[in-house]
A and B are shown apart, each in its own frame.
Chain A
Amino acid sequence: MRTASQSPATGTGGEPGFRGVISVSFGAADASADHDADGVSRQDLRFASANPEALANLRSVLAHSRVGVRLVLAGPPADVHAAASAVAVCGLVDEEITILCDEVGPRVIFCGHCHTSTTTDHAIGTDVVCQGCATTLTFTDHFSRRVGGYLGFSAHAEEAA
């Protein structure tokens, strides 16, 4: 799924010593469209989703890049947040990352009971069934950038006998 405009033939890595703008688009998003990088060299990466392979690919591009680089992440919230979390582990700071997050789209709910992540289209404040422990989880806007998801906790726990 990856078609990078400046990608090497191997399909991994990236330009050694790159210090320009890396635009990463997930799904139908286009990170490069919103971002005017006047004259700055750029690499475009496109992924179907932020699956482990895509994130490994992104990390490999970052490993070849050097301080001075700027990263743009665009797409559905679940993918963008997963990518933002992965690149923060690589040591990138907020000023190096621009997030262009779709207003609607799947979110990741992180179960506070079994630590499994469940992806859902449900709106904030609603319930979702955890795919790890089958607990009915409710979630608010309590978001973790490290996990890249919203905290899900047992719904109506305070009402239980």
Chain B
Amino acid sequence: MTATALQTKVHPALEGSLLLEVTSVRAQTNSITSISFGHPLGEQLPSYVPGSHLVVQYGTGANSYSLTGAGSAPTEYTISVLRVEDGAGGSLAMHALSVGDRVQVSRPRSAFAPAATAKHHLLIAAGIGITPVLSHARYAAEWGASASLIYVHRPGTGAHVEDARELLGSDLTECTDRNSFREVLTTKLTTQKLGTHLYVCGPTDFMDSVLEQARDLGWPKGLLHSEAFSAAALDDGQPFAVNLVRSGVKLDVPAGVSLLETLESAGLNIPNMCRKGICGECAAPVLRGAPQHRDLYLTDQEKADNTTIMCCVSRSLDKELELDL
């Protein structure tokens, strides 16, 4: 990792970022490792809202990882990373880090904040989804807020299980299989006092089923919060054309090729990061045409406005889209 530590080209998502030093690396489980970053001179780092994430640069790429701390006046930023052998390479790069390595790290970004008006925080995590939820639990413990956690993990493979037990005591419910989780979830969703907000993080299908069941049981959207880790696989989609008004270029986007890839191969430099419709970096302004929105970033209202497209995953409902590029 020493070679990448010396790189000078900063990823576009990391503008205004910090150059931090790895201060500790601890194995949580066989496949999950916690990594802490500190200021090289030991200075305090910017505080962050619970549930925030860091963007960490590796090689030419960058990836987001949830911070696991409570966030007030930190001297270290700690992330826990699940090794994904067939991923884009970010998790393998994180697992290759050792103490003393220098890494370009964004300032914390908040997209999964606790509701200030909540009377109770019902936290739900599956697998590596524990990381942002642990941040919430630590924050609640630090500030005396009411919180409970349902943590679904396979026996022996759960990260931060001891941390969760210590923080939450009897307010922690551990589930080690889907069936027991279903029962616990139904009970919890029907017995929460008013003013309870729900926060869920885990695999996409897990989050979708939790949110769907909550809605079915009368939970309004305003009480539901989720943090996407990975997007569901998308189909290839239909071919369409884009007319780049400012560049005066017209491009064909074939099925199976993303708009972002098409723009990049035409030589355009589009800021991007996750390439999964989550981070919001690759937003492009739409002048005409209706995008087929497939991202998790834009709100329903923003999608209906049809003025912005996330070009990494979204396509077009019309034969042609006109973009202000």
Contacts and interface: CB of A to CB of B under 8 A. Distances in A.
Contacts of A69: 194, 218
A65 B190 CA distance: 10
Contacts, number: 51
Secondary structure at the B interface, as helix, strand, loop or mixed, is loop
A88 B284 CA distance: 38
Contacts of B222: 93-95
A92 interface: yes
Contacts of A65: 194
B119 A68 contact: no
A66 B191 contact: yes
A96 interface: yes
Interface string A84-114: 0000101111111000000000000000000
B119 A67 contact: no
A90 B221 CA distance: 17
A92 B168 CA distance: 25
A62 B195 CA distance: 10
Contacts of B193: 63, 66-67
B90 to A, nearest CB: 36
A68 to B, nearest CB: 3
Contacts of B190: 17, 19, 66, 68
A17 to B, nearest CB: 7
A65 B195 CA distance: 10
Nearest to B191: A66
Given A67-B192, A68-B190, A96 B119 contact: no
A88 B217 CA distance: 21
Counting chain A CB atoms within 10 Å of each CB, the highest count among B119, B218, B223 belongs to: B218
A93 B119 contact: no
B118 interface: yes
5 contacts: A63-B194, A66-B193, A67-B192, A68-B217, A90-B119
Given A19-B217, A66-B192, 12 more contacts: A65-B194, A66-B194, A67-B192, A67-B196, A67-B219, A68-B190, A69-B218, A91-B195, A92-B194, A93-B223, A95-B220, A95-B221
